[in-house]
Amino acid sequence: MTDPTPAMTAKIARFEALKARMPTSELPRWSLAQALEEAGHKAEAEAEYEALVALKPDYCLAWLRLGALRLEGGRIEAARTALVEGKRLAIDQGHNAPRLEADRLMAELDDDEDWPT
């Protein structure tokens, strides 16, 4: 991981301040998680996605990013849990692009388990 640029550091600080002002809103937390991930702060991004799905359990994109980070970190079972939930929500909510992203991520798992369709 490299040190974030001053612009990225400012972006993260801006979203942290928004999250502090609006602790029950999912949007500042999503933006913060995205910025942390972009800056290479994977563990902090994962923690924000975890807090986000605790706050808003039906946020399919947050479940998918959480699964992707867990997969990247080699935590296969934890990734599977998040990806299955993200895909289930995408299907239930009629979101095709997130469902396809879930399929792509699930294909990276090293087993032949049947996934929900």
What is the Cα Rg of the chain in Å? 15
d(CA 86, CA 64): 5
pTM beyond 0.75, yes or no: yes
pLDDT in tens, 39-82: 999 999 999 999 999 999 999 999 999 999 999 999 999 999 99
Q: What are the tokens at 79? A: 């990734």
pLDDT in tens, 5-44: 999 999 999 999 999 999 999 999 999 999 999 999 999 9
Angle at 32 between CA 73 and CA 65, to 5 degrees: 35
